[in-house]
């Protein structure tokens, strides 16, 4: 059972003793601060939170929180988070990782969590590069980008993470960046509160392998607040229209929040369990199911 609201938490309560080994100046330092603040605002005790990541610089993030964490396998944060949520629906489940983790090797999983409407918040630290493995092309790298795996410039168009999740029908889609930490904490909090699959893309600069224009100064120059533009987050088509500008403009805030969230997969499982439980076998006779009558 959740003990939300019985105690007051501060961001420091979610900070672990482990010292981040990210490069100084890495955008991920701000993301972990945003997460501490959002979790404090939610107020769930750390032991009621499961935080799952894949592999990458960004995927080290669960270790820097006091939540239960699993720095798992490259690209597999989402299926693992999903299993945890189904096994223990009372947990607040967060998943996080990089653009490579989420949209290359793990790209196939996102659609399924969205169509099931798993009640999980997924945070992608998008730095348009493979940081941990030292600067290779990532699925969100811009066309023409020169890296050690694209010496003459990339020939590929980038994946648009915002359109990707909107097109599959995600109920909550937002974007944030270290240019506005309070705004970042607010959208993470809102994503956690959304009952269903929630996606937050965070432009988190890689100071070691990222390009100049993708650092904080460059991001500031192309930032625009969605609220300031008068965007209505209940309007999915308007959200898709704005999301098309990924890579040229950085829209910050909530692109889309389904005003009538459908039931989550967990809700439907509970319903099904209630329906079938009256005819279910007691635990000690469960193996009888496999015996031919």
Which residues of this protein are in contact with ligand TPP, per CB under 6 A? 55-58, 74, 97-101, 125, 127, 129-133, 138
Q: Per rule CB under 6 A, is residue 111 in the interface with ligand SF4?
A: no
Please name the residues in contact with 40: beta carbons below 8 A apart, sequence gap of 6 or more: 9, 10, 11, 13, 14
234 belongs to the binding site for other proteins (CB under 8 A): no
9 binds other proteins (CB under 8 A): no
For the chain, how far is it from start to end, CA to CA, in angstroms? 39
Q: What character string, x for contact with other proteins (CB under 8 A) and - otherwise, covers 113-142?
A: --------------------xxxx------
Name every residue whose Cβ is closer than 8 Å to that of residue 153 and which is 6 or more positions away in sequence.
Answer: 143, 144, 145, 146
Q: How far is CA 141 from CA 155, 157, 203, 250, 283, in A?
A: 10, 8, 12, 15, 51
Q: Does the protein bind ligand SF4 through residue 219 (CB under 6 A)?
A: no
**Residue 221 in the binding site for other proteins (CB under 8 A):** no
Residues contacting residue 39 through CB under 8 Å, at least 6 positions apart: 9, 11, 14, 46, 49, 65, 67, 192
* Of 66, 104, 127, 179, the one binding ligand SF4 by CB under 6 A: 127
How crowded is the C-beta side of 144, counted as CA atoms within 13 Å?
Answer: 1
Q: Residues in contact with ligand SF4, total (CB under 6 A)?
A: 12
147 binds other proteins (CB under 8 A): yes
Strands 68-71 vs 92-98: parallel, antiparallel or unpaired: unpaired
Distance CA 26, CA 24 (A): 6
User: Taking CB under 6 A as the rule, does residue 180 contact ligand SF4?
Assistant: no
Identity of the residue, 82 or 138, whose beta carbon is nearer to ligand TPP in the bound complex:
138
Block residue for tokens 């009888």? 288
Contacting residues toward Mg ion, per CB under 5 A = 98-100, 127, 131
Closest by Cα among 227, 228, 225, 174 to 202: 174
- Residue 23 partner contact from Mg ion, ligand TPP, ligand SF4, none using kind-dependent CB cut-offs of 5 to 8 Å: ligand SF4
Among 7, 31, 15, 21, residue whose Cα is nearest residue 66: 15
C-alpha closest to that of 245 among 171, 149, 161: 161
As measured in angstroms, the least distance from the Cβ of 23 to ligand SF4 is 3
The answer to whether 122 contacts ligand SF4 (rule: CB under 6 A) is no
* Interaction between residue 209 and other proteins (CB under 8 A): yes
Task: Decide if residue 215 touches other proteins (CB under 8 A).
Answer: yes
User: Residue numbers of the site for ligand SF4 (CB under 6 A)?
Assistant: 22-23, 26, 28, 57, 127, 131-132, 206-209
Query: Which residues bind to other proteins, rule: CB under 8 A?
Result: 19-27, 29-30, 133-136, 147-149, 178-183, 185-186, 205, 207-209, 215-217
């Amino acid at each position: 059972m959740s003990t939300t609201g019985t105690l007051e938490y501060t961001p420091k309560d979610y900070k672990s003793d482990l010292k981040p080994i990210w490069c100084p100046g890495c955008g991920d330092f701000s993301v972990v601060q945003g997460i501490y603040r959002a979790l404090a605002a939610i107020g769930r005790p750390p032991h009621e939170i499961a935080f799952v990541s894949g592999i990458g610089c960004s995927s080290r993030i669960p270790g820097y929180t006091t939540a239960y964490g699993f720095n798992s396998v490259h690209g597999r944060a989402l299926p693992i988070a999903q299993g945890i949520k189904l096994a223990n629906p009372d947990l607040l489940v967060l998943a996080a990782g990089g653009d490579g983790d989420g949209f290359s090797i793990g790209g196939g999983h996102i659609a399924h969590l969205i169509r099931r409407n798993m009640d999980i918040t997924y945070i992608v630290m998008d730095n348009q590069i493979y940081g941990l493995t030292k600067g290779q092309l990532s699925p969100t790298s811009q066309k023409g980008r020169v890296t050690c795996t694209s010496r003459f410039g990339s020939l590929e168009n980038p994946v648009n993470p915002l359109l990707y999740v909107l097109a599959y029908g995600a109920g909550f889609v937002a974007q944030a960046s270290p240019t506005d930490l309070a705004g970042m904490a607010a959208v993470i909090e809102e994503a956690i509160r959304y009952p269903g699959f929630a996606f937050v893309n965070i432009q988190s600069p890689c100071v070691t392998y990222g390009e100049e224009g993708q650092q904080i100064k460059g991001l500031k120059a192309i930032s625009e607040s969605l609220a300031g533009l008068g965007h209505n987050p209940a309007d999915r088509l308007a959200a898709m229209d704005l999301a098309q500008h990924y890579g040229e403009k950085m829209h910050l805030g909530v692109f889309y929040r389904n005003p009538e969230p459908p039931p989550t997969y967990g809700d439907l499982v509970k319903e099904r369990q209630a329906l079938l439980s009256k005819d279910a076998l007691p635990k000690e006779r469960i193996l009888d199911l496999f015996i031919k009558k």
